[in-house]
Structures are given as C-alpha cells and as structure tokens.
C-alpha cells in the first residue's frame, strides 16, 4: 500500500451499520498514535457513513493497512485520501442555518432550495432531517464567503417560499442564541386565532362594512393606527358586552397554536400575547392556553354595553415593541433570546425588537422586513425554527 504524501488523511467508512464499528476503528488509530482531528457520523435507514480526519505519525501505510483489514472483517468499505491543507475557515464568513419545513419535502423542493444556495455562493456543510417520521423538515448548515452579507440570500429564499407555496424557508445565524431562546411573544388576531375580533363584533352589531372601510383607509396610509382604532371602536357603541364574552369563549385557534404553547411551557419558555385587539379575548386565550402574560386594548363598558371607547393607552406598534422589551427586562431575558410573531404592519416594530421576528401568514411587506416568515405551515412550525427536532417533540408527547 502506498503511503499518502500528506500526514493528514480523511478516512471514509460506508456500509451496513452495526455496533462496534466506530470503536474498532478509533481504537486502531489510538494504538497507532494518530491524532484525530475531526469526526462525523450519520446513519440513514441502517446505512452508515463515518468520516475520520486523522493526522498520522510515522509510516501511514502501517496505520491504514490494519484499518482496511478491520473494515473488511466488519463488512464495511473504507476509503481514504490525503488532505494537504489543514482544516481552516477557508475564507468563509459566519455560519448560518436554513430550515425548510413543509407537508413533505421531496427531490423537487430540495433541488430548488439548493439551487438558490449555490447561486448565492453558500457552502453547504451539513444537512439534517429534523422531522419524524417523514421528510418534512431539514436543517441545512452552511457558510457564506467572508464579507458576503446574507440579505440577498434571505430575499431569494423568501421569494422561493412564496413561489412554491408548499414549504417555508428560514435563514438564521448559527449562534448560541438560536437554540437559546427563552420567551415567545405573539400577536393575537390572525396569528394565534384565525379571525379579527373587531370585524366579528362589527358584523354582530351591523356595522361590518363601515368598520371594513376604515380598516382599508388605515391600510392605505390615509390615517394612523390609533385614529383608525378609535373610529372603529366608536361604531361598536351600544353593543351588549355579552356578545364580546360569547365570542371570546369560542375563539377559533390557528393551526398549531395549542401544540406550540404546550411545548413551550414544557420547555420552560415564557409566553405572552401582545395584541392591538381586545382584552376580553386576550384574557380568554391566556386562560385557555396557559399563556403567562397578555397585553391588549380594554373596551370601556357601562351598564352592560360598550361605550365606543377604550380605556388606557392604545396598544399600537410602538407600544407593542415597548411591552416586549419591558417583559424581557422583567424576566431577565436578553432581547436576542426573544421570539416575536405577528401578521400585520402593527407588529413590525415588535418583530424588529426581538432576536427572531417571524411574520406569520403576513402581507409581503412584513414578510420582507421580518427575519423569517411562515406561510405554508401552522404555528407549531416555529418549534423547528427554535432548533427542536421531530424526535424531541415526540418525546415531549
């Protein structure tokens, strides 16, 4: 056997997995005085791929021949190649993780995704399936060239997700805080629940069209949020408060909401609702799901009927961001450890303040501004963005 010219050798082992393969081969390397520089092992459907990067001392052939013989006796194939350059950063910049989540991810979806990564010079280092039992979620660990900003890649991934309609794609910086989040703050209307409470109340009071017209003017930038809320709430004057309570008792939850909050609570996360909606609904959700904190607008009630006014400061975009920061400070949680989820322009500042801002089934403008977005999946998709795997979720029950 010819000795490789480099003292560093990449040893690749493939074949049917069985106990003892890694132990046997690393034992031989240890006996030969080799220095193990790196190791990576994966088993897919009972098939093993094991990579060992070792720096050999003395006669490389004398080290590799026993490894080849051991591999043969174990029923696996061994290959090796010299590595002439030491492991280094190779000019790469920060590491990132792309998480793709869909009902099912096939060759077509992964081809489209990896095409985008290649076009933006991303070097894929590892792909891991995170869903169970089917291929519905993967983490792709990658590096960008040094000095290359991730914004262009983020935009391309957003466009891919919007075009596909079948899976969501998120780009996150690989850092200590990716799996170190401790608080999740959520909007309520069209986020935790599938409706806009004010629209339902307006229809019940016979003023649905008038309220919708004001909402449209606000969306077109013809009036600010505070004024639009005041005008819409004024149209609810005289509505019996029992209608509000009845609606709050039967709020339709968004897909995945119960799973998300249940898992977060099991893992010790703090949870909060910060909503421009109304406190009767927010407090009902808080009790129903076991959410820790709820902040929202309070409707004024006299003699069992709405007066058409709110009580206290309006929870607008700026107030939402302030409340998020205040909650994090009170809990001793860094903003990098906070996740914020929302669907509308009123959530933008809150999403920007959080370490991870997620636009959930939102308009294109918010999706483009947020750190990442979810459109195809439910709220429980967020759990994969936090670094959890399907196997871990099954263990939690």
Active site residues: 187, 189
Segment holding 248, helix H or strand E: helix 241-248
Contact indicator for 188, 277 with CB cutoff of 8 Å: yes
Q: Is 160 exposed, middle or buried (0-12, 13-18, 19+ CB in 10 A)?
A: middle
Rounded to whole angstroms, the Cα distance separating 115 from 370 reads 23
Contact indicator for 243, 306 with CB cutoff of 8 Å: no
> Measured between alpha carbons, how far apart are the two ends of the chain, in Å?
53
CA neighbor of 53 nearest in space, from 5, 4, 7: 7
Rounded to whole angstroms, the Cα distance separating 363 from 248 reads 26
Range 73-79, long-range pairs (CB < 8 A, 24+ positions): 74/15, 74/18, 74/20, 74/21, 74/24, 75/15, 75/16, 75/18, 76/13, 76/14, 76/15, 76/16, 76/21, 76/48, 77/13, 77/14, 77/15, 78/11, 78/12, 78/13, 79/11, 79/12, 79/14
Q: How wide is the angle at C-alpha 185 spanned by C-alphas 182 and 186, nearest 5°? A: 145
| DSSP-based three-state secondary structure for 82 | strand
């Amino acid at each position: 056997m010819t000795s490789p010219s480099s003292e560093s050798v990449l040893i690749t082992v493939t074949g049917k997995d069985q106990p003892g393969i890694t132990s046997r081969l690393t034992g031989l390397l240890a006996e030969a005085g080799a220095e193990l520089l790196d190791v990576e092992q994966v088993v897919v459907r009972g098939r093993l791929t094991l990579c060992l990067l070792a720096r050999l001392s003395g006669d490389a052939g004398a080290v590799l021949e026993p490894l080849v013989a051991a591999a043969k006796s174990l029923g696996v194939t061994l290959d090796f190649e010299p590595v002439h350059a030491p492991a280094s950063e190779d000019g790469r910049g920060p590491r990132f993780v792309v998480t793709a989540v869909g009902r099912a991810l096939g060759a077509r979806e992964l081809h489209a995704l990896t095409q985008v990564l290649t076009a933006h010079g991303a070097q894929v280092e590892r792909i891991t399936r995170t869903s169970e039992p089917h291929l519905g979620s993967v983490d792709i660990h990658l590096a960008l060239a040094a000095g290359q900003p991730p914004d262009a890649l983020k935009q391309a991934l957003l466009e891919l997700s919007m075009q596909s309609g079948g899976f969501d794609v998120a780009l996150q910086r690989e850092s200590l805080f990716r799996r170190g989040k401790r608080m999740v703050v959520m909007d309520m209307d069209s986020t935790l629940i599938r409706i806009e409470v004010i629209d339902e109340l307006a229809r019940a009071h016979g003023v649905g069209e008038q309220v919708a017209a004001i909402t449209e003017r606000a969306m077109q930038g013809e009036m600010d949020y505070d004024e639009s809320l005041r005008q819409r709430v004024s149209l609810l004057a005289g509505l019996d408060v029992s209608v509000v309570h009845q609606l709050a008792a039967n709020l339709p939850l968004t897909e995945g909401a119960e799973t998300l909050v249940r898992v977060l609570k099991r893992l010790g996360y703090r949870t909060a609702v910060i909503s421009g909606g109304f406190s009767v609904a927010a407090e009902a959700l808080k009790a129903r799901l076991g959410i820790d904190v709820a902040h929202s607008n309070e409707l004024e009630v006299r003699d069992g009927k709405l007066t058409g006014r709110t009580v206290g400061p309006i929870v607008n975009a700026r107030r939402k961001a302030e409340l998020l920061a205040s909650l994090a400070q009170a809990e001793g949680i860094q903003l990098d450890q906070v996740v914020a989820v929302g669907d509308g322009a009123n959530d933008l500042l809150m999403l920007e303040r959080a370490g991870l801002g997620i636009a959930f089934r939102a308009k294109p403008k918010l999706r483009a501004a947020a750190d990442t977005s979810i459109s195809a999946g439910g709220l429980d998709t967020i759990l994969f963005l936090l670094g959890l795997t399907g196997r871990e979720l099954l263990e939690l029950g």
